[in-house]
């Protein structure tokens, strides 16, 4: 009986991960299309520098208060009350929603009023005209954080009940909104259309989840009962996580500030490379972490430490099975990826070289970036949101130091290398602290998997490298078709050899 229940739960988790991964893949494809439209239309220059810099303040507010902080605190507490008193759980949900709405409105208004001054601090290297345009775009984008705030509270409730479909579709709708802004609004109202596209995407992100939320039995009521014990508990758990996310956002602000002092287009190139390297993270690492989070929370509530460690080990090995070869393949195919995805219109060869170089340095830490969301959620499941802040603080200090030093030597690529080194330190600190908390994390099995995965990835990488050279004389690499044929053949061979070795050697993952 127990075995049947565990199998059903495991199937639910894997099914949820597959649903999230599928729509994450679709969202990432749309994201690549979005970036191609942006860079082919405007190039890596002033317009996209201002566009990406304009995201910093809205992202600072939203990502710090809502994204990650809310779900990490909300889901464990909501589930705890749901098992005791369902009506009380809904009251807590409504109170949290309304409190968050009030806070976001207040911060949005402050951000709107002080946008020019804040932009001057975020992008000190911009001239006056670029700062004014950035402030204007920032003010429009601030409207979007209201919809995203509501949407992520809805996502947290759906995630708690393991209802992943609408939650997974939401990012797809967000990208559709931004693409609509590029194609439809920009020709009508100019560069402001980019910002209004972001607002439209945020609205769609929220709207698509309403039917699924209604089916759960949620009914909105204007309740601001901040004195409820459950609300206080969520707030207490959010506070350390909020600091941790603030650290991550400060990281982004610092990178933007440094990038603004480099050559024109550096902010755009940094963001383009970052967007490309996060594609595999968004497709497999985040979905697995999100899908396993409710399982971690339930296992900890039931004091089933063995099940908790077993599930964590399995999730970690599955992530590494994809992250390690992805890192090697991205580094080898960096120029092909950048040229095929972004290389059109105003995006020239110089932009391609700089972006590809930055991308390769980002890819070094792909394994670390992929594991951080999973390990962090282990701490959240333990209702410990303080420990990840320690790791984030260490990572931030290191990243700021390295980014300043390396950018002086390497330009925008130095930002990518500094970020990677800091990410690797971050995941090591998290791992050591988690191991100190729970003891043996199935270390022997994890180590054996890492050794096998790394070996197979290196062999597949050498094969891919050989195919690139073997095909080069037979295709015109100055054309998109030639690049696609060369990269496609090398990629197919590399993946086939990697999967073949894994199958022959009976690698569990």
| pLDDT score of 60 | 80
* 254 in a structural domain: no
The tens digit of pLDDT for each residue in 417-475 reads: 999 999 999 999 999 998 888 888 778 888 888 899 999 999 999 999 999 888 888 88
Both 196 and 295 in a single domain?
Answer: no
- Looking at every residue in the chain, the average pLDDT score rounds to 84
Residue 86: is it exposed, middle or buried by C-beta count within 10 angstroms (0-12/13-18/19+)? exposed
In the chain, how many domains are there?
2
From 249, 277, 301, the end of a domain falls on 249
From 214, 249, 284, the end of a domain falls on 249
Per the CB < 8 A criterion, the answer to whether 138 and 57 are in contact is: yes
Q: Indicate the pLDDT class of residue 6, thresholds 50, 70 and 90.
A: very low
Above 60 in pLDDT, residue 237?
yes
Per the CB < 8 A criterion, the answer to whether 415 and 358 are in contact is: yes
Above 50 in pLDDT, residue 11?
no
* 259 in a structural domain: no
| pLDDT score of 72 | 65
Both 235 and 279 in a single domain?
Answer: no
- Residues sharing a CB contact under 8 Å with residue 334, sequence separation 6 or more, in sequence order: 356, 357, 359, 360, 363
Both 34 and 82 in a single domain?
Answer: yes
Per the CB < 8 A criterion, the answer to whether 418 and 114 are in contact is: no
The tens digit of pLDDT for each residue in 57-74 reads: 888 887 776 665 566 677
- Most confidently predicted of 222-231, 234-243, 249-258: 249-258
| pLDDT score of 424 | 94
Both 308 and 166 in a single domain?
Answer: no
Both 155 and 302 in a single domain?
Answer: no
Which of 187-201, 326-340, 479-493 is predicted with the least confidence, judged by mean pLDDT?
479-493
* 495 in a structural domain: yes
Q: Closest by alpha carbon to 375, among 426, 446, 439?
A: 426
Above 50 in pLDDT, residue 5?
no
| pLDDT score of 73 | 73
Q: Where are the beta strands (DSSP E) in 97-161?
A: none
Both 223 and 282 in a single domain?
Answer: no
* 255 in a structural domain: no
Per the CB < 8 A criterion, the answer to whether 403 and 416 are in contact is: no
Both 432 and 485 in a single domain?
Answer: yes
In this structure, the chain runs to a length of 509
From 185, 218, 249, the end of a domain falls on 249
Distance CA 450, CA 507 (A): 11
Stretch 112-133: mean pLDDT: 90
DSSP 8-state assignment for residue 473: G
Say how many C-beta atoms besides its own lie within 10 A of residue 46's C-beta. 19
Distance CA 165, CA 201 (A): 18
Both 234 and 289 in a single domain?
Answer: no
- Most confidently predicted of 19-33, 42-56, 301-315: 42-56
Q: Closest by alpha carbon to 50, among 144, 118, 142, 131?
A: 131
Compute, in degrees rounded to 10, the torsion defined by CA atoms 96, 101, 103, 107. 150
Q: Which domain holds residue 328?
A: 265-509
DSSP 8-state assignment for residue 474: G
Residue with more model confidence, 483 or 358: 358
Both 183 and 329 in a single domain?
Answer: no
Both 185 and 297 in a single domain?
Answer: no
* 258 in a structural domain: no
* 257 in a structural domain: no
Both 231 and 270 in a single domain?
Answer: no
Both 456 and 509 in a single domain?
Answer: yes
Q: Each residue of 50-64: b (16+ CB within 10 Å) or e? A: bbbbbbbbbbbbbbb
């Amino acid at each position: 009986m127990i075995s049947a229940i565990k199998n059903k739960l495991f199937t639910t988790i894997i099914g949820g991960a597959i649903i999230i991964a599928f729509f994450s893949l679709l969202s990432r494809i749309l994201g690549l299309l979005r970036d191609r439209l942006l860079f082919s239309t405007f190039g890596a220059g002033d317009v996209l520098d201002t566009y990406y810099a304009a995201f910093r303040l809205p992202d600072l507010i939203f990502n710090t208060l809502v994204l990650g902080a809310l779900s990490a605190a909300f889901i464990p507490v909501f589930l705890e009350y749901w098992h005791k008193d369902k009506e009380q759980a809904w009251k807590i949900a409504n109170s949290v929603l309304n409190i968050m709405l009030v806070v976001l409105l207040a911060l949005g208004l402050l951000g709107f009023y002080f946008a020019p001054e804040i932009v001057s601090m975020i992008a000190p290297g911009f001239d006056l005209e670029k700062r004014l345009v950035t402030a204007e775009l920032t003010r429009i984008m601030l409207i979007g954080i209201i919809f995203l705030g509501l949407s992520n509270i809805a996502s947290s409730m759906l995630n708690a009940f393991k209802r992943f479909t609408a939650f997974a579709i939401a990012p797809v709708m967000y990208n559709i909104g931004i693409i609509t802004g590029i194609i439809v609004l920009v020709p009508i109202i100019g560069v402001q259309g980019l910002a209004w596209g972001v607002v439209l995407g945020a609205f769609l992100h929220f709207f698509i989840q309403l039917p699924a939320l209604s089916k759960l039995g949620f009914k909105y009521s204007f309740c601001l009962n901040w004195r409820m014990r459950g609300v206080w508990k969520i707030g207490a758990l959010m506070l350390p996580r909020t600091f941790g996310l603030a650290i991550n956002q400060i990281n982004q602000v610092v990178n933007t500030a440094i990038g603004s002092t480099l050559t024109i287009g550096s902010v755009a190139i940094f963001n383009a490379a970052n967007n490309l390297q996060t594609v595999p993270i968004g497709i497999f690492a985040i979905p697995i972490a999100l899908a396993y989070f409710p399982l971690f929370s339930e296992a900890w509530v039931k004091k089933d430490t063995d099940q908790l460690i077993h599930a964590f080990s399995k999730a970690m090995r599955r992530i590494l099975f994809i992250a390690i070869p992805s890192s090697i393949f991205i580094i080898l195919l960096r120029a092909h990826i950048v040229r095929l995805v972004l290389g059109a219109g105003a995006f020239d060869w110089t932009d391609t070289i700089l972006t590809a170089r930055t991308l390769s340095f980002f890819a070094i830490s792909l394994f670390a970036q992929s594991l951080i969301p999973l390990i962090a959620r282990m701490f959240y499941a333990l209702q410990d949101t303080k420990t990840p802040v320690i790791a984030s603080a260490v990572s931030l200090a290191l990243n700021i130091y390295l980014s300043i030093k390396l950018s002086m030597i390497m330009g925008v690529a130095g930002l990518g290398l500094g970020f990677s080194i800091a990410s690797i330190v971050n995941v090591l600190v998290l791992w050591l602290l988690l191991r100190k908390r729970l003891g043996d994390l199935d270390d022997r099995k994890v180590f054996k998997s890492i050794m096998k995965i790394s070996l197979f990835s290196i062999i597949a990488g050498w094969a891919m490298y050989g195919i690139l050279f073997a095909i080069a004389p037979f295709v015109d690499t100055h054309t998109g078709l030639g690049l696609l044929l060369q990269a496609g053949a090398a990629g197919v061979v590399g993946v086939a050899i990697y999967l073949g070795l894994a199958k022959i050697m009976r690698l569990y993952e």
